[in-house]
Amino acid sequence: MQEFLYFCAVKHRIWFIGLICCALKIVAQESFNFQFSTFNLDEVVLDIYNAVTEIDAVDFEQLQTDLYALHANPIDLNHTNEEELEQLYFLSPRQIDDILLYADRHPFESLYELQLIPSLADYEIRDLLPFIQITNDQSPITNNNMKYAREVFAHAKHELVARVDARNIEDTLSTDPVFAQFRYRFDYQRRVTFGAQLRRPVGGMAQDLQYGAYLQLTDIAPHVHKIVGGNYQASFGQGLVLAPVFHSGKSMYVASAGMQQQGLRHYGGADGASMHGAGTTLRWEWGKSTRLDVSALYSMRRANDSTWQHTVGANLTLRHKRLEVQLTGIENIWSDSIRPYRNAKYNQHYFRGFHQAVLGASVRYNHGWFDVFGEVATSQNHQSETTNDKSQITNDKWGVGTLVGCRFYPADGVNLIALYRYYSPWFDNAWGYGFSETSRINDENGGYIGFDITRLKNWRFSGYGDVFYFSGYKYGLGDATKTIGYDAMLEAKYDRTRSEERLAISGRIRTRKKGSSTYSARFQFDWSKGPWSLRTTADGNYVSSYGISIAQDIAYDFTPYTVHRTPLSLRLRLQGFDAQNWSNRIYLYEHDVLYSFSIPATYGLGGRAYLCLKWQIINQLALYLRVSETVYSSKWASEHHRATTRTDVHLLLRASL
């Protein structure tokens, strides 16, 4: 510990401290007005990150892309539906239902009316405001009137982004440490959306270029609700058959546990798990209380270097008043037999074979003060193998997956949830992701309860407890079988906004046992007033050894607080950490260039700092720059055969019309 404190106090990199001092000098000498963005998107993304406990399950790139698109074309609260509001991941099903019910009974005339919805706390309304609007007119595109193509292009928004990253490590690298990306996006009021991207991964060659595109058309003809093509994602019910790429799993959004449905949607992220093909949803409505959706999809992608995976599927959704019933089915066909690595014990029940059928049925019933939901699914597991004489040996089995739960709302500002899931050892579906302790819904039995209390003004108390059981082997648990584990968390948060000043203080403790026991805690202090924002974050954990981290963030928003109105933005962070082993690593969300994020795993003995700038050159052109550096103690680096420094530079240019 003494070495850690000495390192943080003395072993600073001269050039980076100098850069920070120069930046602060600029702030002191000139009255710049910095607005990092025209709205508080960074804080919304940060709140979502802080709420999520399993960050590996979250696609933050797609999250930011979705939120930017919603800000550019806000949701009209008087002409919206649950499908649109589900894109705001911080809203619970109760809040979505309350917003829709209020708009149906009394159309919004002012955003101030959101305060009349008891389930929305003040800080939740603050996060909601950048993505919503209120109008009394219908959308320019209706089911009976599609504008001509030239009019669509005339009123659409175009965006072109070019990004280059460079990395310098004091080690010998066998690959080129340069990353490049180009992406284009066309958006007409979220009714006509097209995008394409090309990226060169670090160390990639010409043949390693990654590319993709997507197209989404919404409500372009009577009964044609949606058409998607290219890269897209599909999610229905509780996700046991089809689940989105973005899923939060366990989080401090306790009331959102088990919330999955988003239907067919385009996908603009980089995750290779998205579908590649086409899909459509047809919709019939009878009044405001009854709706029938019929969806069909096809996807083709590479399962590995030599095997193609073809997927066809369909979904039937019937919604009548408070009741919703869904039937979903898919068929997977591979060009070659799928054979997981046989020497690994944890995958003995994973699917093997050429084709697989997965079927599921889900239901949800909302009665105001309680919300019941669930899904039952079954997956075909051939376990086919090819013998030496090329004959097939098939052992047909069908696995079963079940997820049921209930949300209770005994009083305004009090949310309770209870959830049970069972995934048999033979249940295995690569496209599915239900509420689970692991990233694969297979061989798990568990119960989850949680609470979220916002009844007290400016205060929020939330927490959950989860107990789970694995009958067989699991990845990371070695030779252990019949494993019982638990996961529990408590958090208290005080969040107050007065005029231009915001004060937020939160504390969280978590204990978890899955093989070994883990204890962790986080304390965070946020203060902002006018152009200034300060954040202090302290993390600690114990897993047979300790890990600690202290980080200080400083942000200054130049525009529109000063008369010079220089379109420059600045964010700084200084962090010190002492995490003895990889099991003690600490994740901390970092600001980055547009449509990007950084959540490095810091461990060892050292410090980290970054500077993030945005320069709005003109209204249609912006330049983003991020420079970060990690410095390790020379003694620790020598003992662990690591470089003492690592430097990353991210540069992005954005042009929009």
What the block records as the tokens of 359 is: 């079927």
Angle between helices 60-72 and 41-51 (to 10 degrees): 140
Q: Where would I find the H helices in 142-267? A: 149-155
CA distance 638 to 255: 47
pLDDT at 143: 42
* Per-residue pLDDT band at 201 (split at 50, 70, 90): confident
In this prediction the pTM is: 0.82
Is the Cβ–Cβ distance between 460 and 466 less than 8 Å? Answer: no
CA torsion angle for 334, 232, 163, 606 (degrees, to 10)? Answer: -70
What is the average pLDDT across 389-395?
Answer: 55
What the block records as the tokens of 393 is: 């040996």
pLDDT at 377: 95
CA distance 318 to 326: 6
Distances (CA, A) of 647 to 328, 412, 582: 48, 49, 21
pLDDT at 454: 86
CA distance 534 to 556: 9
Residue type at position 483: T
Q: What is the pLDDT of residues 414-468, one digit of tens each?
A: 889 999 999 999 999 889 888 888 888 889 999 999 999 988 888 999 999 999 9
Q: How many CB atoms lie within 10 A of CB 295?
A: 24
Report the phi/psi class of residue 396: left, alpha or beta, with left for phi > 0 and alpha for psi in -120 to 50: beta
Is the Cβ–Cβ distance between 547 and 580 less than 8 Å? Answer: yes
Residue type at position 67: L
What the block records as the tokens of 396 is: 């047909």
CA distance 336 to 304: 10
Q: Checking DSSP bridges between strand 483-498 and strand 459-470, what pairing results, if any?
A: antiparallel
Beta strands in 222-307 (DSSP E): 224-235, 263-266, 275-286, 290-302
CA distance 175 to 202: 7
Report the phi/psi class of residue 46: left, alpha or beta, with left for phi > 0 and alpha for psi in -120 to 50: alpha
Higher per-residue confidence, 401 vs 637: 401
Phi, psi torsion values for 432, nearest 5 degrees:
-100, 155
pLDDT at 21: 41
CA distance 277 to 300: 6
Phi, psi torsion values for 190, nearest 5 degrees:
60, 15
pLDDT at 203: 63
* Cα–Cα nearest to 524, from 500, 543, 541, 540: 540
Q: What is the pLDDT of residues 339-385, one digit of tens each?
A: 776 667 788 888 888 889 999 999 999 887 888 999 999 998 876 55
pLDDT at 22: 40
pLDDT at 53: 62
Q: How many CB atoms lie within 10 A of CB 252?
A: 24
* Per-residue pLDDT band at 387 (split at 50, 70, 90): low
* Cα–Cα nearest to 584, from 549, 551, 550, 543: 543
Residue 26 bridge partners (DSSP): none
What is the average pLDDT across 561-585?
Answer: 80
